[in-house]
A = this chain, B = another copy of it.
């Protein structure tokens, strides 16, 4: 890949926005809205579809003839979505990260997962991802779905537990910000040891007395109690 590549990006959402920035200086990027597909460069080496999952099918249906590879960037859309369309070389170009326009990111460390219609396209997509990231892997649609579900547990649900802590603390005149050093330390630990070994707290100690004391203290907060019981039980079961 000595010659400069041309890349179409369909979609100006968070992912499209960041992919454009990530390719800056490394490829010529044409960014188009899903409703102005006529602006796409038909000679582009790569066309990335970065629209919401439910809009991918419709974009594919309206896609003009394109010479290069077409790939979507969705974690949860199987590669089969391409089957009924006229694309010859297609695939998936999935960055495992959460994107927001206001927040800069170090693209080099974002893992990219590649899947493709054929070995040739697979290698091409791999090389395009290497323009951005040092962390490129292959993953089939089933693995990608697994990654997505794992990310829901590891990020979406984790964030929700923080939201619950936040309102519970607020109610007691306390400040969630005071938990940040503790949260940072908890994250730092799993960068060096597996989370199952980093587990602390009453449940992993088998301290049933403290668990019951906490549940009593939660009083009539039924939702917090249900979550407390379920996750404590799960930690207890996971002990070696």
Contacts and interface: CB of A to CB of B under 8 A. Distances in A.
A196 B166 contact: yes
Copies of this chain in its oligomeric complex:
2
A148 B215 CA distance: 12
A109 interface: yes
Interface in A53-87: 53, 76
Interface stretch (A19-27, A35-43, A120-128, A221-229): A221-229
Interface in A175-212: 176, 178-191, 194-196, 198-204, 210
A149 B174 CA distance: 12
A109 B153 contact: no
A101 interface: no
Interface of A: 53, 76, 96-98, 100, 103, 105-106, 109-111, 135, 137, 139, 142-143, 145-169, 172-174, 176, 178-191, 194-196, 198-204, 210, 213-214, 217-218, 223-224, 226-228, 230-231, 234-235, 237-238
Given A143-B173, A189-B103, A227-B234, A199 B160 contact: yes
A130 B154 CA distance: 35
Q: A97, A195, A210 — which one has the most chain B CB atoms within 10 A of its CB?
A: A195
Contacts of A151: 165, 179, 182
Contact of A238 (B163, B190, B191): B163
Given A96-B179, A228-B152, A200 B159 contact: yes
Given A182-B151, A194-B176, A200-B98, A160 B235 contact: yes
B199 A111 contact: no
Contact of A137 (B178, B224, B231): B178
